[in-house]
Chain A
């Protein structure tokens, strides 16, 4: 046998003439082609392996790049200041009754407290008062939120009036970025002057600056100030929108698929509907946004920027996907099971719900997840219905104004402040984590249905 193969390979190296090939036995002919066939197989396996590695590498590069860029967003620098709550700076009268005093605290001038405390801390080098420019620069080191921190602190413990206390305050985003990384100072880099850098060096040497985990990224909503901006509003908006989408598209999609597969007569009309559903899945998503704007908002008068409208628009987009996947899953249910149930005298409805649907469920869930994942990353249709607005409040119901994660990412990526770079990457990480959570839930649900 081996000899035959050796002979055959030897022959194969010399070009075959027709007379030679006709003389060869079947075994020899097979042996001749064997080498080529094995090579083909090896080439195919190598290509497949390379494709898998390439895909995996892309994912690794993507995730590691985003993660490394997102890391600075998860911590923030705070500064410890000695603040004196002098009542004349606050312009409150500490001698009046308690209720009047508390009321006065709401409208007191905390900015002056902050400014004067700062000027006390940083006298100019020659003992004279700071120039206007220096004063402005000094004040700019701190977040615009600083005076509110002072206010909250005093309202919680009003006894601190006329006393000097130490308070931790957020630094401005440019300062924060400066402390985190080695950016050049001046025009080309961060908006930090030499004087500001000097003050910061002083604060650092006095151990007044501390880096803390940035909880507010998860508890706050969007803000113009990067050091205050958080993801919670967009996250809630996304969850509410997906909730509406799932609530509408899953039952409607599955019901549509069941009707078309199990109950609808097979005729020209159902063929037409099928073609239309397949086409609907391929319609560019922004068209659905236009439809939402023209019909749902303008004709039905539902509120703009609301997760309800976003959910309805995304349902239009997701439902065809769910219908197509569900129909495939329903079609794959063995007809013998249907016959068995029908033969026992089950009605069509009973067959559908006690046998077909449970068997098709894993496939249906996969389809629903693909649809929902699509909806999760969708931006274009939501721009059309106003979910691109700058919204500072965390939405609590499906008719509140809201934005969603992908739109938030788009908004932040568009912002000029350097600190938003990290925020953008961090928001992408949150979006990807949400996708992961949805996928894991789906896998668990799927395996649960498959076991049954």
Chain B
């Protein structure tokens, strides 16, 4: 079985070279686009990680980025709030807009961008502070309020939106790192919500969690899309199918196919997408 798989993998790579110059298959456009990316290239030094990716992110919907390891989906995600800026050798070109504004414009402060485009990471990473301070931190640094009552309210509503309030309301002063893995991840989501971003980027938010915690997070994502535009990177095809409305399939730094999730998973147009979704490789 192994040998067959490998052969198919090889043949698919050959196929990829043939389609190298062709455009992305499917529909990259959205009627109501929150963010639009056109001809994005990302380089790590001389190595190109993202090749000419163009797509729209639909407002108040969940877009899933799927693809095999190392295909550039996390790199692409981190372009959307300029987290890649922290890596010295990383360079991004192309046109990336948020509500029609160029997010790579010279006069745009990445700090402002990141307040509008929040991020949740693969490994839950609460600050080694109290639960309260974890949530309040964003509001404090941006000077959203200097009023204790308002701050309390922000903390409470954020925790409620993240479905964590009832579990932690009696121990807001306890350290955030003392929570379980699933709770920590919801704390991180609450922390992101507290700054009231417009877009939330999630980089495999459930990959370090057990199935029950994953289910809770997925439900939460479904609720959150009412207010926020969500982009989620995931390794789990089932998860992408469950939570997203749009799916983009990346392969070796290229966007191979994009479309409505039900279309991608039932009638993939590209051979590579089909191979990946049916579990032949990746």
Contacts and interface: CB of A to CB of B under 8 A. Distances in A.
A342 B141 contact: no
A452 B81 contact: no
A420 to B, nearest CB: 53
Given A345-B138, A346-B141, A339 B125 contact: yes
A344 B114 contact: yes
Interface residues of B, number: 27
Interface residues of A, number: 20
B195 interface: yes
B112 to A, nearest CB: 7
Contact of B121 (A265, A336, A355, A452): A336
Given A336-B125, A350-B141, A354-B137, A343 B88 contact: no
Interface string B84-126: 0010100000000000000000000001111100111101011
B128 A452 contact: yes
A349 to B, nearest CB: 10
A347 interface: yes
A337 B127 contact: yes
B121 A339 contact: yes
Contacts of B36: none
B141 A344 contact: yes
A111 to B, nearest CB: 71
A344 B88 contact: no
Contact of A344 (B86, B112, B123, B138): B138
B121 A343 contact: yes
A345 B127 contact: no
Given A339-B83, A342-B86, A345-B138, A355 B111 contact: no
Given A265-B88, A350-B141, A354-B137, A343 B127 contact: no
Contacts of B88: 265-266
A446 to B, nearest CB: 15
B173 interface: no
B192 A344 contact: yes
B169 interface: no
Interface string B115-159: 100111101011111000000011001100000000000000000
Contact of B128 (A339, A345, A359): A359
A41 to B, nearest CB: 36
A336 B126 CA distance: 9
A341 interface: yes
B77 to A, nearest CB: 11
Interface string A337-373: 1111111111100100011000100000000000000
A346 B83 CA distance: 12
B191 interface: yes
Contacts of A266: 88
Contact of A340 (B111, B112, B121): B121
B115 A345 contact: yes
Report the 3 A-B pairs with minimum CB-CB distance, sorted nearest first. Answer: A345-B115, A343-B119, A345-B114
Given A343-B81, A343-B119, A344-B114, 20 more contacts: A266-B88, A336-B125, A337-B128, A338-B86, A339-B86, A339-B119, A339-B125, A340-B188, A341-B127, A342-B83, A342-B86, A342-B114, A343-B118, A343-B121, A343-B192, A344-B138, A345-B113, A346-B137, A355-B127, A452-B128
15 contacts: A265-B88, A337-B125, A337-B128, A341-B127, A342-B86, A342-B114, A343-B83, A343-B118, A344-B114, A344-B115, A345-B118, A347-B141, A350-B141, A355-B127, A452-B128
